[in-house]
């Protein structure tokens, strides 16, 4: 099962940049999308259907903002739109598709762009942890893909010293992510790839992407129960439809 995750920074813009033909070339079974910035009715879904994908959308109430989606060649047994926590669902940040052997979530965790949003980010993280702790009891084989807006370790950011007081690399954020992972998940990419200089997001400023001055903030976290099923995990920086790039994990069943 080949699973990708991609913050596209606007699905309509990504489609205009060749997203559909790129997706076809990946042969992904499931792709989790974040920051769709659109309603389903605003998107040319025929391009996805032509590739054989079922598509499920959960948009934010605010137009042109946030939103998540899952595209899958395998028809899910169930799709859950949101998580039932009103403030999270208002911003369209969680969607989950259940399959016979695994449940896959597309997550878009808030960024802490200012004091108010940073406070909201911590509120979201605390309540999300509680939500997942309960969900794992019902779905022990869980994969949470998405943009977490946090670098876990110094190896995951190009300049850990200068960014130590920047949201996305704050000690409190990193501590939360560490606790979340150790609560029963595996960082699939880092599990198989211990090398530095692998990132999934680059600022549009200062030619950051060409100089590979990036952050690894996109993850495919896999339940520990699926550890022996992890076959490959990777980042695809050559895909350039967004300021992020896709991350992927492949599982053998």
Query: Domains in the chain, ordered, with CATH?
Result: 2-251 (3.60.10.10)
> What is the structure's pLDDT at 35?
98
Count other C-beta atoms under 10 Å from residue 176's C-beta. 19
* pTM confidence score: 0.98
Annotation says 147 is catalytic? yes
Q: Tens digit of pLDDT for each residue in 141-193?
A: 999 999 999 999 999 999 999 999 999 999 999 999 999 999 999 999 999 99
99's CB contacts (< 8 A; 6+ apart) are 74, 76, 77
Quick one: pLDDT at residue 73?
98
Quick check: helix, strand or coil at residue 140?
coil
Tokens for 59? Answer: 């948009």
What does the pLDDT read at residue 30?
Answer: 98
| Residues near 68 by beta carbon (within 8 Å), at least 6 away in sequence | 32, 33, 34, 35, 36, 57, 58, 92, 93, 94, 95, 106, 107, 108, 146
Burial annotation 3-32 (CB, 10 A radius, 16+ → b, else e) = bbbbbbbbbbebbebebbebbeeeebbbbb
Q: Which residue is catalytic, options 147, 156, 187, 218?
A: 147
Give me the pLDDT at residue 126, please. 98
Residue 68: per-residue pLDDT: 98
The alpha carbon dihedral of 12, 14, 20, 24 has a sign of negative
Q: Which residues contact 42 (CB under 8 A, 6 or more apart)?
A: 12
Contact call for residues 5 and 30 (beta carbons, < 8 A): no
Which residues of the chain carry a pLDDT beneath 70? none
Output helix, strand, coil percentages for the chain, rounded to the nearest 5: 30, 25, 45
Spatial separation of the C-alpha atoms in residues 205 and 30, rounded to whole Å: 31
CA 217 to each of CA 63, 146, 162: distance values in angstroms, whole numbers, following the listed order: 24, 8, 17
Provide the pLDDT for residue 92: 98
Q: CA–CA separation, 130 vs 149, rounded Å?
A: 19
Compute how many other C-beta atoms are within 10 angstroms of the C-beta atom of residue 214.
Answer: 24
Q: CA-to-CA distance for 111 and 218, rounded, in angstroms?
A: 12
């Amino acid at each position: 099962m080949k699973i990708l995750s991609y913050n596209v920074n606007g699905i309509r813009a990504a489609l205009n940049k060749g997203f559909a033909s790129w997706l076809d070339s990946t042969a992904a079974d499931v792709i989790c999308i974040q920051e769709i910035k659109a309603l389903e009715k605003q998107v040319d879904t025929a391009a996805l259907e032509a590739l054989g994908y079922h598509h499920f959308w959960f948009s934010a109430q605010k137009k042109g903002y946030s939103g998540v989606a899952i595209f899958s060649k395998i028809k899910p047994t169930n799709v859950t739109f949101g998580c039932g926590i009103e403030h999270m669902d208002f911003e369209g940040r969680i969607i989950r598709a259940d399959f016979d052997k695994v449940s896959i979530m597309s997550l878009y965790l808030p960024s802490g762009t200012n004091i108010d949003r940073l406070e909201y980010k911590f509120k979201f993280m605390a309540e999300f942890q509680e939500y997942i702790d309960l969900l794992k009891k019902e779905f022990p084989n869980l994969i949470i893909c998405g943009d977490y807006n946090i670098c876990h370790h110094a190896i995951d950011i190009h300049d850990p010293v200068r960014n130590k007081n920047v949201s996305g690399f704050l000690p409190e954020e990193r501590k939360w992510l560490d606790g979340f992972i150790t609560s029963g998940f595996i960082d699939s990419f880092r599990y198989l790839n211990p090398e530095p200089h692998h990132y999934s997001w680059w600022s549009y400023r200062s030619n950051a992407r060409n100089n590979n001055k990036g952050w690894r903030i996109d993850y495919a976290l896999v339940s520990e129960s699926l550890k022996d099923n992890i076959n490959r995990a990777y980042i695809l920086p050559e895909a350039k439809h967004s300021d992020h790039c896709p991350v992927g994990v492949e599982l053998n069943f």
